[in-house]
């Protein structure tokens, strides 16, 4: 019942949200070569950044994101490439155990994550696609995904990243308070801990 209520609220939020385009490094380790230890770092068209989409040779989706460096940084570009196993079309779902695009095995998803002058030789992690739509020519219309990237396949070199392109899909953190709201209500009614 709680899951249905949260889903209905999420659907309502999406229906009333304004389409957004942004790239966010939610958090990263100080040893992440590409993400550079950034946290709460966001670029968008409102800040003068351009998002150019492409279709890569594995039938996946590429992003070239360019703009003026944010204060205190030197990054003027980000590059992303997503690919599904067996050259399948990228669709919503969880893609686990990726390898660095374009060197992934045929049965594995691929992801490439680079910033100005930086790209790991190897990478691993997972990504979840929430939305991917295309026009009749296969060009990307909307896209929303989050990923966790381990540079050089080392879990100490981590980055948590979100990409939104012409989408109403909110950040995953927006749903957490909504899911916890019924627990807080139950706590007030019981006069103690949730579930008591």
With a cut of 80, say whether residue 116 has pLDDT above it. Answer: yes
188 belongs to a structural domain? no
183 belongs to a structural domain? no
User: What is the Cα–Cα distance from 1 to 113, expressed in whole angstroms?
Assistant: 38
- Output the average pLDDT for the chain: 86
Bridge-based pairing of strands 93-100 and 123-134 is antiparallel
Q: Give the residue from 57, 29, 43, 20 showing the smallest Cα distance to 116.
A: 43
71 belongs to a structural domain? yes
pLDDT of residue 1: 53
For 35-50, the DSSP string reads TTT--SEEE-GGGT-E
Instruction: Give percent of the chain above pLDDT 70.
Output: 79
102 belongs to a structural domain? yes
Domain hosting 157: range is 19-169
pLDDT tens per residue across span 150-164: 999 999 999 999 999
Whether the CB-CB separation of 139 and 55 falls below 8 Å is answered with: yes
Note the pTM of the prediction, 2 decimals.
0.81
pLDDT of residue 172: 66
pLDDT of residue 6: 43
37 belongs to a structural domain? yes
Whether the CB-CB separation of 88 and 59 falls below 8 Å is answered with: yes
pLDDT tens per residue across span 52-106: 999 999 999 999 999 999 999 999 999 999 999 999 999 999 999 999 999 999 9
Whether the CB-CB separation of 70 and 49 falls below 8 Å is answered with: no
Number of domains in the chain: 1
pLDDT tens per residue across span 11-33: 555 455 689 999 999 999 999 99
With a cut of 80, say whether residue 8 has pLDDT above it. Answer: no
112 belongs to a structural domain? yes
Q: At what angle do helices 175-190 and 2-16 cross, to 10 degrees?
A: 140
Overall average pLDDT of the 48-54 stretch: 98
Residue 81: exposure state from Cβ atoms within 10 A (0-12, 13-18, ≥19)? buried
With a cut of 50, say whether residue 166 has pLDDT above it. Answer: yes
78 belongs to a structural domain? yes
100 belongs to a structural domain? yes
With a cut of 80, say whether residue 2 has pLDDT above it. Answer: no
């Amino acid at each position: 019942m709680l899951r249905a209520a949260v889903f209905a609220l999420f659907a309502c939020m999406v229906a009333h949200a304004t389409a957004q385009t942004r790239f966010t490094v939610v958090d990263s380790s100080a040893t992440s070569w590409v993400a550079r230890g950034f946290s709460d770092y966001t670029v968008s068209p409102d800040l003068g950044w351009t998002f150019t989409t492409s279709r890569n040779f594995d039938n996946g989706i590429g992003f070239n994101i360019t703009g003026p460096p944010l204060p205190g940084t030197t990054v003027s570009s980000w590059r992303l490439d997503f690919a599904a196993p067996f050259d399948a079309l990228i669709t919503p779902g969880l893609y686990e155990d990726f390898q660095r695009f374009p060197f992934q095995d045929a049965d594995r998803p691929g992801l490439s994550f680079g910033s100005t002058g930086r790209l790991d030789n190897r990478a691993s992690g997972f990504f979840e696609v929430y939305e991917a739509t295309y026009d009749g020519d296969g060009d990307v219309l909307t896209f929303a995904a989050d990923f966790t990237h381990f540079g050089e396949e080392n879990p100490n070199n981590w980055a948590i990243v979100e990409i939104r392109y012409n989408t109403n899909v909110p950040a995953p953190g927006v749903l957490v308070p909504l899911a916890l709201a019924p627990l807080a209500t139950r706590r007030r009614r019981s006069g103690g801990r949730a579930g008591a």
